[in-house]
Chain A
Amino acid sequence: MEVYNKTFRNTPNSELQTPNSPNAHRVVITGLGMISSIGVGKEAFWENCLRGTSGIRPIHGFDVSPYRSRLGGQLPEIDFKAFIKPANLRRMDRIGKIVVSAVRVAIDDSDLNLEEEDSSRVGISIGTGLGSSDTVDQFFRSLLKEGPLGAAPLLFQTAVPNAITSHCAIEYGIKGVNITFSHKESSTEMAMTFAYHLLKEGRADVIFAGGGDELSEPLYHVYSMLGALSPGKGKGAEGMRPFDRDRNGIVLGEGSGILVLETLEHAKKRGAKIYAEMAGVGLSGSTDGLLSYDLRGDSMAGAMSLAAKDLRTVDHISAAANSTPDLDRAETLAIKKVFRERAKEISVSSLKSMLGEFDGSGGIRACALALSLYQGMILPTIGTKNLDPQCDLNVVLGQSKKKEIRSAILNGCSNGGSNISLWFKRHS
């Protein structure tokens, strides 16, 4: 081992020589980057979170007349040149630009100087449900129209799901861990889980973790054809209203959120501002069907119990609830199973009520939760008027609320049954 390490030119850090000492490090959040429909960057985003501003509007940019739905949580026009060098913008498609910009916002927020870091100990872990869905569609249409010989190579190289992660690695010289997850609505929660574990084992100093998704026309089509979009087949009004008795499906959103996750040791060494500590993860699977959520909430309850090592300190849950009849009811069951008589003391919010639902939403939701812990503020769930008696939780409606949060859980649940809970603690 001794001799071997002499030739280990690119990873001189002695930490790597002790791979058998798990759980040696604490993991903290030191930077937040978000490109969202309710604000780009921390200040604008947080102000709108506190205010309960909705990012959901009539879809623009493509024709929704063939569908029963017309709403979406689309991003405003963004001047990506503010985040990315113009020469590099050319090789990125829209979702690439969105995620690379979110990483830029996170880097700036964290005051990290990447030039001073050992680039092989800086990593990136991204989750995306459908990545470059628009580019894939453009490529496929070029193939149908022009035939195989006319298919555009530049589109293909950005069409792969990990292109967004590669763009980030190339843009910022991130040479350590590099991974992309795509598992429906738990994609980003998994990306954060993996980053957390590697940092805990000391296999990296800093990992950018999170992800995102774009709202494209083909995606809207697919969701609509699969019957996932509000108002569904019912007669009710279209909209996001998690836990409401009249909820009837999702409104599709888009955006990206990135956490700078760092070992506590490394953060302290560089005097970083610490928003919160990431202190546990829980993963479990339900098997109720390919397009079903965890119907009884057992699996979600398992994930929460595994994640939160001290359930008594949990004061807040950022719910996965997405305004579908099944998930919101099941998450309620799960929270009650885990917390029993304490369930009603726990403030529950769904940020999806403002952003809409999208597979890669976990990153933005985690950014908001970190700020909630840091500032002692609980965000409202908007759009919800009449709490469903089957969702009888302490759902914070209307306005944000001041409350010291000792620790909080972020839930991510996919249809098909991957359930992930992340546990965050206030850092003191």
Chain B
Amino acid sequence: MRKRVVITGLGVVSAVGNNLPEFWNSLTEGKDGTKEITVFDPSAYRTKIAAEVSDLAPEAHFSKKEIRRLSRCDQFGLIAFREAWKSAGLDQDSQDKEKGGVVLGAGSGGILSVERYFRDFYQGRKKPFPSLLISYSLATTTDHIAIEADLKGPRTTTATVCSSSSASMGVAFEMIQMGLAEVMVTGGSDSLCEVSYSGFNSLKLVDPESCKPFDKRRQGLVIGEGAGILILEELEHALKRNAPIHAEFLGYGICADAYHLTAPEPNGEGVERVIKIALVHAGVSSEEIDTINAHGTATTFNDIAETRGIKRVFEERAKEIPISGIKSMVGHCLGSAGGIEAVATVMTLETGIIPPTIHYKVPDPFCDLNYTPNHSIKKDVRIAISNSFAFGGNNVCLVFGKFSSE
């Protein structure tokens, strides 16, 4: 029999809040985290905004020496991890370290540090510190967390960028199914950096004003940053230690469009396929889905493809299901997008509040569903899905349910 997997800890760092209560409060109030970029000089760019994390005060969390060695991505990941770990009560419980693992998703990882190194190196200004290169591997944040908590179970990092931290949750789920772990730290962390900022800019996928998912005026994404960390736990293990259970992770799907390196399959077939694979894996019917946390990047083609895919799955019910596009508030956090959105989806199940898609004014005839415009709504949500899609047509869909002991 399959093992049941529940979520017992949540942690967030984001442009709209550096801990779970602040983050959730901002989302329910429809607060936009977009601001002018400060982590690098944006003056030469066509666009100058991002959903940047502010007021984090790393000194409050790390020693001076640690700050020198930790990339911005590592810092976000560790702070969100500590919140999740503590809220799960795992900092107090002595659990079996060999049955605890870490699977994070990565996007650009610690590349901000690597950029610093290579800028100095190529411009020959000064001799750069080789220690900046420790962040060259995408595994670095994952390893930092495992080492800090002394976790000796399975450990890996997924690297599908925009869907990485959703894919990581699927992999973490399997580690529990395989009997290799009872507790898994999962989700992802990512920080702003020039390579990804200029990359999305060069593809003309960045909106210069704000992120407006599903709105006719949308011009693309706003890049964000942060971390979303979830603690997955095997149900029996969680019950035995009386852990706080936020929701159940019912299943997931992962598949490919096999269509194009950057554009989604335009008819939504890939989106349809991944949602259906996820529903079957979770053992639930499309009738049971109460809300959708959309990928909703606010690029022209993603939003249409996602809308079409949702219609293909839910048919006449599609218009009834409230859809949330929280990238309108936290930006597209790339390697941590799926993790942050999974945290939001779990909070929706727990609180019965569906966060809005903000900046929604002008409906697009190609995006004609209920996107929960501008204001959060209250609804009893029993089962919710969260979509993540990446470059190359990599699709992931996660299914979460309200926990009940039956």
- Which chain A positions have C-beta within 8 A of B123? 144
A173 touches B (CB below 8 Å):
yes
What 0/1 pattern do residues 120 to 159 of B give for CB contact below 8 A with A?
A: 0111000000100110111110111011001111111111
Which of B45, B198, B256 has most chain A Cβ within 10 Å? Answer: B256
A184 to B142, CA, bound (A): 11
A294 CA to B32 CA, complexed, in Å: 44
State how many angstroms separate the Cβ of A4 from the closest Cβ of chain B.
4
* Contact of B258 with A by CB under 8 A: yes
In the bound complex, residues from chain B placing their C-beta under 8 Å from that of A222 are 133, 136
Q: Does B89 contact A (CB under 8 A)?
A: no
Instruction: Choose, from B19-27, B233-241, B279-287, the stretch at the interface.
Output: B279-287
Chain B residues within an 8 Å CB radius of A1: 283, 285
Interface flags, A197-210, vs B, CB<8A=1, else 0:
11000010000000
B362 interface hit (Cβ, 8 Å): no
Return chain B residues, CB-CB under 8 Å to A417.
143, 146-147, 155
Interface positions of B from 251 to 271, Cβ below 8 Å from A? 251, 254-262, 269-270
- List, in ascending order, chain A residues with CB within 8 A of B171's CB: 179, 194
Chain B residues closer than 8 Å to A203, beta-carbon distance:
281
Given contacts A162-B391, A179-B167, contact A19 B280 (CB under 8 A): yes
- Whole-angstrom distance between the alpha carbons of A281 and B154 in the complex? 11
Q: Which residues of the partner chain A approach B398 to less than 8 Å between Cβ atoms?
A: none
Interface 1/0 per residue, A6-34 and B, CB below 8 Å:
01111100001101101000000000000
Task: Report B166-205 CB contacts with A as 1/0, cut-off 8 Å.
Answer: 0100010011011010000000000000110111111110
Pick the interface stretch among B8-16, B98-106, B292-300. Answer: B98-106
B394 within 8 A of A: yes
Interface: A37 (CB within 8 A): no
Q: A144-B122, A161-B159, A181-B159 are in contact. Are A173 and B45 (CB under 8 A)?
A: no
A226 touching B286, Cβ below 8 Å: no
A150 to chain B: closest residue by CB = B202
Q: Give the chain A neighbours of B142 by CB distance below 8 A.
A: 183
The answer to the question of A264 belonging to the interface, with a C-beta cut-off of 8 Å to chain B, is: no
> Number of contacts between A and B (CB, 8 Å)?
267
Contact call A120/B255, Cβ cutoff below 8 A: yes
Are A162 and B156 within 8 A (Cβ)?
A: no
The listed residue (A10, A184, A285, A290) touching B152 by CB distance below 8 A is: A285
Q: Cα distance A10–B262 when bound, in Å?
A: 22
A285 touches B392 (CB 8 A): no
B-contact 0/1 string along A222-244, CB 8 Å cutoff = 10011000000000000000000
Q: List the A side residues contacting B1 at CB < 8 Å.
A: 20, 22
Closest to B101 in A: A285
- Chain A residues lying within 8 Å of B144, measured Cβ to Cβ, are 290
Kindly state whether residue B218 has any CB partner on chain A within 8 Å: no
B172–chain A nearest beta-carbon distance, Å:
11
Q: How far in angstroms is the closest Cβ of chain B from A214?
A: 14
Assess the B256–A151 pair: CB atoms within 8 A. no
Residues of A near B195 (CB, < 8 A) are 136, 139-140, 143, 156, 159
Of A163-171, A343-351, A363-371, the one contacting chain B is A163-171
Residues of A within 8 A of B257 (CB): 169, 175
Residues of B within 8 A of A221 (CB): 121
Q: Does A289 contact B (CB under 8 A)?
A: yes
From known contacts A151-B199, A197-B177, A285-B154, infer whether A183 and B279 are also in contact, taking CB-CB under 8 Å. Answer: no
Q: Do B134 and A159 touch (CB < 8 A)?
A: no
Query: B44–A149 contact, CB under 8 A?
Result: yes
What is the CB-to-nearest-CB distance from B275 to chain A, in angstroms, rounded to a whole number?
10
| A172: B residues at CB distance < 8 A | 258
A residues less than 8 Å from B204 (CB atoms): 153
A20-B251 Cα distance, complex, nearest whole Å: 11
Cβ contacts under 8 Å, B147 to chain A: 287, 289-290, 416-417
Contact A19 B161 (CB under 8 A): no
- Whether A283 touches B153, Cβ cut-off 8 Å, given contacts A159-B199, A414-B139, is yes
Question: Is A321 located at the chain interface by the 8 A CB criterion?
Answer: no
Interface centre among A131, A175, A184 (most CB of B within 10 A): A175
Query: At the interface, yes or no: B115 with Cβ under 8 Å from chain A?
Result: yes
- Contact across chains for B285 and A16 when beta carbons are under 8 A apart: no
Smallest CB separation, A294 vs chain B (Å): 10
Q: Is the CB of A141 within 8 A of B122?
A: yes
Residues of chain B within 8 A of A163, CB atoms compared: 261, 391-392
**Complex contact A178–B255 (CB within 8 A):** yes
Q: How far is the CB of A279 from chain B (nearest CB, A)?
A: 14
Q: Could you tell me the distance in whole angstroms from the C-beta of B151 to the nearest C-beta in chain A?
A: 6
Q: How many residues of A contact B (CB 8 A)?
A: 91
In the assembled complex, the CB of B383 is this many whole angstroms from the nearest CB of chain A, namely: 13
Name the residue on A nearest B283 (C-beta): A19
Q: Hey, which chain A residues are within 8 Å of B276, CB to CB?
A: 7-8, 10-11
- Please name the residue on chain B nearest to A418 by beta carbon: B155
Asked if B56 lies at the interface with its beta carbon under 8 angstroms from chain A, I say no
Q: Give Cα distance in the complex from A416 to B151, angstroms.
A: 12
Q: Is the CB of A166 within 8 A of B151?
A: no
A148 interface residue (CB < 8 Å to B): yes
CB of B380 closer than 8 Å to a CB of A? no
Cα A287 to Cα B155 in complex, Å, equals 11
Residue of chain A at shortest CB distance from B118: A140
B183 to chain A, nearest CB (A): 13
B367 within 8 A of A: no
**Is B119 an interface residue, CB under 8 A from the partner?**
yes
User: In the complex the two chains form, is B202's CB within 8 Å of A151's CB?
Assistant: yes
B393 within 8 A of A: yes
Give the residue among B46, B152, B283 with the most A Cβ atoms within 10 A: B152
Contacts A10-B272, A149-B46; is A291 near B134 (CB within 8 Å)? yes
Contact B130 A225 (CB under 8 A): yes
- Residues on B with C-beta less than 8 A from A166 are 256, 261, 391-394
Proximity string of chain A (401-412) to chain B, C-beta cutoff 8 Å, 1 when within and 0 when not: 000000000000
Closest approach, in angstroms, between the C-beta of A113 and any C-beta of chain B?
Answer: 17
CA distance A299 to B155 in the complex (A): 12
Q: Which residues of A contact B115 (CB under 8 A)?
A: 140
Q: Is A176 at the interface (CB under 8 A from chain B)?
A: yes
Q: How far is the CB of B89 from chain A (nearest CB, A)?
A: 21
A91 and B261 contact, Cβ closer than 8 Å, known pairs A151-B199, A162-B159, A162-B390: yes
Does B64 have its Cβ within 8 Å of any Cβ on chain A? no
Partner of B273, one of A17, A144, A175: A175
B277 interface residue, CB < 8 Å from A?
yes
A158 to B101, CA, bound (A): 31
A-B contact pairs, 18 of them (CB 8 A): A7-B286, A16-B281, A17-B280, A19-B280, A120-B273, A123-B255, A139-B199, A148-B44, A151-B198, A153-B202, A157-B261, A165-B394, A166-B261, A169-B258, A177-B254, A221-B121, A282-B180, A290-B140
The 3 closest A-B pairs by CB, nearest first: A166-B392, A156-B199, A178-B256
> Which A residues have a C-beta under 8 Å from some C-beta of B?
1, 3-5, 7-11, 16-17, 19-20, 22, 91, 119-120, 123-124, 128-131, 136-137, 139-141, 143-144, 147-149, 151-153, 156-163, 165-167, 169-170, 172-184, 186-187, 190, 194, 197-198, 203, 218, 221-222, 225-226, 281-287, 289-291, 299, 302, 306, 414, 416-418
Q: Chain B: residues with CB nearer than 8 A to chain A?
A: 1-2, 44-46, 98, 101-102, 106, 115, 118-119, 121-123, 130, 133-134, 136-140, 142-144, 146-147, 150-161, 167, 171, 174-175, 177-178, 180, 194-195, 197-204, 251, 254-262, 269-270, 272-273, 276-277, 279-281, 283, 285-287, 313, 315, 390-395
